[in-house]
Structure 1
Amino acid sequence: MYQLSVSLEQFLSQYWQKQPTVIKGGFAHFQDPISPEELAGLTMEEEVDSRYVSNLDGQWIAEHGPFNEQKYASLTQTNWSIIVQAANHWHPQAAQLVEPFKKMPQWLFDDLMISYSVKDGGVGPHIDQYDVFIIQGSGQRHWRVGDLDKGQYVETCRHSALRQIESFDAIIDEVLEAGDILYIPAGFPHDGYAIEPSMSYSIGFRSPKEQELISNFADYVLANDIGDTHMLKPELTTQPNFGQISSSDLHSLTTMLKNSLNDPQRINDFMGCMLSQSRHQLNIITPDPLWSNEEVAHHLNGGGTLEKVSGLRALYHQQDPTMAYINGEVIKVSAEHAFVIERLCGQEHISGDDFLDDTPIAVISLLCELVNKGYWFIDA
């Protein structure tokens, strides 16, 4: 189990979204949870989001996977990287790197990205709009971080798939070694390249933009057939100018627009559904044959556990622990069974020990439903 050498609470108070910093020895005696060969194996899978980036002789190349053995046989000894997004969804040991950060809201957590770079490999100077903890694995990597983007950085297009910037003055200029952690808030330019073959693990946190909230709410309104009414005005009268929008009409239309936002339960459900959906594909496999309630109860009573699919988001609102939002779906339980919502949303596995007495039939039925959806799986 990985353990941070600093207090996460103190770190958030001092640095979170305020300034970048390097935590030397953030993970003591750090060992890579995955090998370069295993990472390369993931890039060969269709379901896995992977990239290859090369900058040999100043010529930038960026390709999306899956790749094959012939691809790797043709590579040079320098100036390239392979990158796997959402590696925590596909590699259980690598997913353990996320554990020390689970005191932060799950809805903010995006994914664990893993990269392997040979000497001089990197993706060039760029700016991300999310917060990231970059954990150095084996090997060494040289990182430079600039000051907060205030519009002074000029984008360049060395490759259409890479959003890079020209240059920046560094406020951090460090060589990271195994276990060191570089924290970079959103908006700070940065650039890293491998001094020698090295592994790097990026734990990203991303909140939705205002544009995303508005766009996703519009989709939610349409999907749920909300507000399918026109403005009615039986008291309509003539007006002096054909092209005029009267103040009263503008008020009526504005009221219609705001009505959807004035329903607290609707907003709760929208936020829960949106925030509980992962940006990346999940390793969801529905069981065949499906499990029965009796089989699930027998498994739990016999000391077995139900394991949550890695990366699956299960959320609930603080003010209503009877409602869960799991992968965009709404799950409702009675007030007496609210305890199961807190367990589903707050831990990675469910066991019979989570229940003081015999597990209620309604709870077993819910757990069985989630297992048969492939959201939790039986730990054999």
Structure 2
Amino acid sequence: MDYQLDIDWKDFLQRYWQKRPVIIKRAFKNFHDPLSPDELAGLAMETEIDSRLVSHDEGRWQVSHGPFESFDHLGETNWSLLVQAVDHWHEPSAALLRPFRQLPDWRIDDLMISFAVPGGGVGPHLDQYDVFIIQGTGRRHWRVGDKGVFKQHCPHPDLLQIEPFDAIIDEEMEPGDVLYIPPGFPHEGYSLENALNYSVGFRAPSGRELVSGFADYVLAQELGSERYSDPGISLREDPAAVLPEEIDALRAMMTDLVQQPEQFNHWFGEFISQSRHELDLAPPEPPYQAGEIYDLLQQGDSLQRLGGLRVLKVGTEFFVNGEQIVTTHQAAVAALARDYQVAASQLGDALEDPSFLALLTALINSGYWYFKN
């Protein structure tokens, strides 16, 4: 389905993005759920898919993680099922992410879908990333507070909540409504009736993740092999002292690694194009031959990108799922990065180049793209 999101993006970015939360009523007009609660429950039974069940009874919270075998033991109130990265596994649901591509692809993470019965929710909490919450079937009551410092507590080892907060948003959401919550704003939502919610989460790497990821790259590429040297070393009264200029020189050795644009960009492309969740990879059997792919495209078949696959451009380089796409046909690769569905016309003359056709064949045989029936 082609979902149309009614948001004035320029106004939204100026007034709300990472500034304050907002409910946008009827942002999706005539909203239709891309899946049913039963289909969501079926996904939660799959081993490869991250899911959890959160319930509470008189202040006692319980959390269990999938895969689940049955939901027959659950009552009619106070529980919710949450399934992560549904866009990786359910193509109609993945379409919900596309209206948010006014924001850059590298920032969009995944689509989490939750089904909750009356009273179902995960309690008051904070997120450290931006999120758009789309209301599907049913109604849900949301409270959002102002940014501040909140005492945290763990009613369950797998559930981090915060103390009660004063609300600046206190409203019911109906199908097609969208709630945007920036990082650090406390919020809680409880279903008023059986309801589906769709959460578009955004990736926000921490400094720790960046340093750790870049350090791994430095080791793998054997960078930074130059050793510290001090031909101008000076005498000092205290042999135990490390002088400020020596600390500066050591820090410079480290920052010089980061300040190599070519290496940094290449690392970041590999790092940020990797998905944080499993992909529904299904390499074709038997693998395609290059000639078969050429013929299918020329006959009018189109290629569909795998749900959740991250295809990004950093500088002049393109990356897919942690690997660089090496080719001189920039326009053709740009089409693969830009468009979810690609036909021969978008790939142009690149299809006549055996080296590009071999590259495309390898990508398809990896399960990254497939021919849509």
1:90 deviates by 0.7
- SS of 2:342's equivalent in the other structure is strand
The residue that corresponds to 1:371 in the other structure is 364
Q: Residues 2-13 of structure 1: matches in 2 within 5 Å?
A: 2-13=3-14
1:121 counterpart residue number: 120
Identity over aligned pairs, percent: 44
Measure how far apart 1:25 and its partner are. 0.7
Contact 1:315 1:326 in 2 (8 A): yes
2:251 maps to what in 1?
254
Alignment of 1:205-284 (within 5 A): 205-233=202-230, 239-284=236-281
Offset from partner CA, 1:102-129 (integer Å, 9 cap, x none): 1211110011010000110000000101
CA shift at 1:222, angstroms? Answer: 1.5
Long gaps (5+) in structure 2: none
Look up the equivalent residue of 2:73 and give its one-letter code: S
Under a length normalisation based on structure 2, what TM-score does the superposition of the two structures give?
A: 0.95
Q: How does 1:1-380 map onto structure 2 within 5 Å?
A: 1-69=2-70, 72-148=71-147, 150-151=148-149, 153-233=150-230, 239-317=236-314, 319-320=315-316, 323-334=317-328, 337-357=329-349, 359-361=351-353, 362-380=355-373
Cα RMSD between the aligned structures?
1.6
Q: Which runs of 5+ in 1 are unaligned?
A: none
Cα distance in structure 1, aligned partners of 2:233 and 2:54: 63
Q: Displacement, 1:349?
A: 2.0
How far off is 1:241 after superposition? Answer: 2.4
SS at 2:362 equivalent:
helix
The 8 Å contact of residues 316 and 341 in structure 1, kept in 2 or not, is answered as no
Q: What amino acid does structure 2 have at the position aligned with 1:343?
A: A
CA displacement at 1:355 relative to structure 2: 3.6
> Using the alignment, how far apart are the partners of 2:234 and 2:130 within structure 1?
55
Whole-angstrom CA distance in 2 between matches of 1:239 and 1:101: 60
TM-score of the superposed pair, with normalisation by structure 1: 0.93
Counterpart code for 1:167: P
Query: Which segment drifts farther, 239-248 or 157-166?
Result: 239-248
2:79 corresponds to which letter in structure 1? W
What secondary structure sits across from 1:370 in the alignment? helix
SS in 2 for 1:45: coil
Q: Provide the C-alpha distance between the structure 2 equivalents of 1:215 and 1:144, rounded to a whole number of angstroms.
A: 36
Output the amino acid matched with 1:341.
V
Pick which of 286-295 and 186-195 moved more. Answer: 286-295
Aligned length: 371
Distance 1:223 1:356 in 2: 36
Which deviates the most, 3-12 or 304-313?
3-12
State the one-letter code of the partner of 1:114: I
- Mapped to 1, the partners of 2:337 and 2:192 lie a distance apart of 41
Identify the range of structure 1 (246-255 vs 30-39) with the bigger mean alpha-carbon deviation. Answer: 246-255
Could you list the structure 1 runs, at least 4 aligned residues long, displaced by more than 3 angstroms after superposition.
232-240, 246-249, 355-358
Query: Per-residue displacement from partner, 1:201-234 (whole Å, max 9, x unpaired)?
Result: 1111122122221121112111222113432446
Mapped to 2, the partners of 1:375 and 1:358 lie a distance apart of 19
Amino acid at match of 2:54: V
